[in-house]
Amino acid sequence: MPIIIERPEAAISDQELREALQQTLSGRNLKKVLLLPPDLTRLHSGAGRITQLCYQLLSPDCQVDIMPALGTHDAMTEAECRLFFGPDIPWSSFIAHRWKTDVVKIGEVPADFIRTVSEGRIDEALQIEINRRLLDPQYDLILSIGQVVPHEVVGMANYSKNILVGCGGRTAINQSHFLGAVYGLERLMGRDHSPVRQVFDYAEEHFLSRLPLEYILTVTTLQEQTVNLEGLYIGRDRSLFEQAVKLSQARNFIHLDREPKKMVVYLDEREFRSTWLGNKAVYRTRMAIADGGELLILAPGVKKFGEDPEIDALLRRYGYVGRDQILDLYQAHEDLRSNPSAAAHLIHGSSDGRFTITYAVRHLSRKAVEKAGYQYASLDDMLKRYDPDHLKPGYNQLPDGEEIYFISNPAVGLWASRQRLAH
């Protein structure tokens, strides 16, 4: 039986969470279970605690393997696992997903389907690959754990995305990201039934149905650094995801009646170590910032551009120069054409000239930042003026009269003016 608990504008208690998970796991005679939580970039998802509780409820009678759904992200270190999942799960229980080598093809979404959902922009089949471990018949149960929240590629994150991208292979990740980028980020972000989601639904129906797979979906909010679990959905049916989408749209969308001229976004250094991740500050605010405005990103942990050395090199080489120029470069250069997710990310991370983007960093040089298409600022200088500890979420007026809109973590929402979201 599916489990749905919603506490909008409140929080699901730890006891309620434990009881829901106990109900899910009890009476199944489970001997071997695979948990697929997100990585540390979803620090505020509630998935760390859920993983911890599942491990406690299952072990030692059941073997529990934990494979964070990394996608293209760096593998988690032991210290990061301790931070996210708690100190009691043995390091030996964790398995790294290697998106280039550990995957097998399980199917293909036909070219005519891709052509239809992309409105004719892409005319090739999309290969579906997943980590071979998910096909191991020894697993009695696979639990995919993650947060439903606005997303720049699929519209709303999680559900089958956690499998097909988080535990997916190079080809599927590349093609799905490029599909979303050419369709248009602002047309899909925060919405269900995007072209990429339709592809994932096709794959879920045709290729994942035989897996012993269930989803644990969350909707969370962040208030003064406290994560509130407001929605919990456990089961397999897509209707659970749809209900989570509705709550996330109600709780994770921040509608602005006027467009700020300047937005300041802080990136927690525990979560954001690259512009590949840190550009959530761009994706999640671009529908809010006024034309001619400025986005200032305070990025103490950002040390590189891509999570992967190959992608990092491409991002440095071509830069965040806007959708139209990237599409031209994509057609002209084989190295970019062979890595469509990098091209997609370069499109996502640009303002298309509508507003300026300034990265305030201490680990990247001015030359590297400006070559990548951004403006550079010294982090230490910016922190003196825009101290996150002294700013409140939303509008702030500084002593000299400057007005800014401050966001303490871009991963927990989507900011948009009512006018732009209406379009």
Residue 336 corresponds to which tokens in the numbers above? Answer: 């970019």
**The CATH number of the domain where 31 resides is what?**
3.40.50.11440
Residues 278 and 132 both lie in one domain? no
Q: Convert the pLDDT of each residue in 232-285 to its tens digit.
A: 999 999 999 999 999 999 999 999 999 999 999 999 999 999 999 999 999 999
- C-alpha 145/C-alpha 8 separation (Å) is 20
Q: Is the pLDDT of residue 150 over 60?
A: yes
Residue 62 corresponds to which tokens in the numbers above? Answer: 């059941």
- C-alpha 107/C-alpha 120 separation (Å) is 22
**Which residues span the domain enclosing 283?**
255-422
Number of domains present in the structure of the chain: 2
Q: Mean pLDDT over residues 24-52, rounded?
A: 93
Residues 234 and 336 both lie in one domain? no
The pLDDT of residue 422 is 57
Residues 226 and 318 both lie in one domain? no
CB distance 236 to 5 below 8 Å:
no
Instruction: Give the rounded percent of residues in the chain with a pLDDT score beyond 90.
Output: 90
Residues 121 and 178 both lie in one domain? yes
Last residue of some domain: 216, 251, 286? Answer: 251
Q: Convert the pLDDT of each residue in 399-416 to its tens digit.
A: 999 999 999 999 889 999
pTM of structure: 0.91
Residues 300 and 219 both lie in one domain? no
Last residue of some domain: 201, 218, 251? Answer: 251
Residues 260 and 348 both lie in one domain? yes
- C-alpha 389/C-alpha 225 separation (Å) is 11
Q: Convert the pLDDT of each residue in 290-330 to its tens digit.
A: 999 999 999 999 999 998 899 999 999 999 999 999 999 99
Residues 196 and 173 both lie in one domain? yes
**The CATH number of the domain where 408 resides is what?**
3.90.226.30
